[in-house]
Amino acid sequence: MPEPLILGIETSCDDTAVALSRGFNLLADQAASSMDQHAKFGGIVPEVASRAHLEVFQPVLQGALAQAGHQLTDIDAIGVTAGPGLVGSLAVGLAAAKALALALDAPLFGVNHVVAHALVDQMEHGPFLEAVLALVVSGGHTVLLIIDGRHITQLGATLDDAAGEAFDKVGRLLGLPYPAGPHIDLLARDGDPQAIAFPRALTRRQDLEKHPYDFSFSGLKTAAARWIEAHQNRGEAIDLADFSASYAEAAADVLVSKTIQAAKDHHLHTVVIGGGFAANSQLRAKATQKMAEAGLEVRIPRLGLCTDNGAMVAAATEHSFRHGQRPSQMSIGADSAMDLTQMVAEYPQVTRDGRLPSRPLGP
């Protein structure tokens, strides 16, 4: 039997992304971003994002089908991001996915966006053969998860800002365009990572006892903001390359050292790094080097699979299939704070006030 043809739909933030895959073999990956409309506001405007998803979903879907040389009726299963993300944006993708699932009589998988950022690596480097340690670093999350088949254990997370968020906020102080992460990355390439000694939060012995696998980036962000302010007050020019290199080094240092420790403590041999911030060159280089020295296999997807995309949702759907996960029910909602130990939204989904939905729809 051929592997299933999977449609993956991602609309959790500003990207309207659709992918088609045959198992873990990616056939098409199309996206349209509304970032240009948000950039002038210095952050994502939810209403604008939802409206853009509505406008471009159909052409992006048609583009993916054309790229893969398939038609809608060929599709065997549909995956869609159910959370975390912006509710209005998620709702557009979910509504489209439900309509398609009903029309095609195909199973629907409401996928967890954060977990999918790690699972997508299988599209590039093949299936996970054993439990992996996943470091997912994005604009909204910084988490360490053990992914073992369809079971997920959360080891730690950021206590405050996500790494990408901290980069975007400091970038704003420097007058860089939003999102600033990629700009800081580029600037850092010509700088000295040891030029400024920025703090490494939660790495002292007493902090490690309480928060061995947690992160904190608000201290780093504040230290950087003070440093910028002090220079501006003295009328001194800021060496953007040295600043960016030192800032990126401090973030990468903590992410990599805590991840290696978690892998050792839990006897895991493979580390997967995903999420938009996994596109960061300094993190990629440090992780590749330090994790190899520690005897770990490190898997980091190519840049296009790190930032939000449809392939991650298709990959999560295929992974769920392989590990015997039942499809979601038609009544799944958009879950902006979806539990990270949930790979796929299960039914019955308990409402925010702890009750079950009163009238389940569909099978």
Residues that bind ligand KG4 (CB under 6 A): 13, 138-140, 164-165, 167-168, 179-182, 185, 275-277, 279-280, 307-308
Question: Other C-beta atoms within 10 Å of 264: how many?
Answer: 13
Pick one of ligand KG4, Zn ion, none as the site partner of residue 80 (Cβ within 5 to 8 A by kind). Answer: none
Compute the least distance from the CB of residue 50 to ligand KG4, in Å: 16
Residue 150, phi then psi, degrees to nearest 5 = -105, 10
Contact status, residue 347 vs residue 329, Cβ threshold 8 Å:
yes
Query: Rule CB under 5 A: is residue 280 a binding residue for Zn ion?
Result: no
Contact status, residue 98 vs residue 88, Cβ threshold 8 Å:
no
Identify which of residues 65 and 250 has a Cβ nearer to ligand KG4 in the complex: 250
Return d(Cα 228, Cα 79) in angstroms, integer. 44
Pick one of Zn ion, ligand KG4, none as the site partner of residue 79 (Cβ within 5 to 8 A by kind). Answer: none
Compute the least distance from the CB of residue 90 to Zn ion, in Å: 12
Return d(Cα 118, Cα 80) in angstroms, integer. 16
Compute the least distance from the CB of residue 164 to ligand KG4, in Å: 3
Identify which of residues 57 and 167 has a Cβ nearer to ligand KG4 in the complex: 167
Helices (H) and strands (E) in the chain, counts: 13, 10
State which of positions 110-169 bind Zn ion (CB under 5 A): 138
Query: Rule CB under 5 A: is residue 89 a binding residue for Zn ion?
Result: no
Pick one of Zn ion, ligand KG4, none as the site partner of residue 156 (Cβ within 5 to 8 A by kind). Answer: none
Compute the least distance from the CB of residue 84 to Zn ion, in Å: 9
Taking each helix axis from N to C end, the angle separating 240-265 and 218-233, rounded to the nearest 10 degrees, works out to 170
Compute the least distance from the CB of residue 16 to Zn ion, in Å: 14
Identify which of residues 100 and 308 has a Cβ nearer to ligand KG4 in the complex: 308
Compute the least distance from the CB of residue 15 to Zn ion, in Å: 9
Number of residues that bind Zn ion (CB under 5 A): 2
Compute the least distance from the CB of residue 189 to ligand KG4, in Å: 11
Return d(Cα 156, Cα 211) in angstroms, integer. 8
Q: What share of the chain is helix, strand, coil (3-state, %, to 5)?
A: 45, 20, 35
* Residue whose beta carbon is closest to ligand KG4: 276
Q: Which long-range contacts (CB under 8 A, 24 or more apart) does 321-328 make?
A: 321/4, 321/77, 322/127, 323/149, 323/150, 324/150, 325/109, 325/150, 327/77, 327/107, 327/108, 327/109, 328/82, 328/108, 328/109, 328/110
Identify which of residues 23 and 276 has a Cβ nearer to ligand KG4 in the complex: 276
Identify which of residues 89 and 282 has a Cβ nearer to Zn ion in the complex: 89
Query: Rule CB under 5 A: is residue 308 a binding residue for Zn ion?
Result: yes
Tokens 């009238």 locate to 359
Stretch that binds Zn ion, among 64-72, 104-112, 234-242, 302-310 (CB under 5 A): 302-310
* Residue 247 one-letter amino acid: Y
Identify which of residues 112 and 138 has a Cβ nearer to Zn ion in the complex: 138
Return d(Cα 328, Cα 331) in angstroms, integer. 8
List interacting residues with Zn ion (CB under 5 A): 138, 308
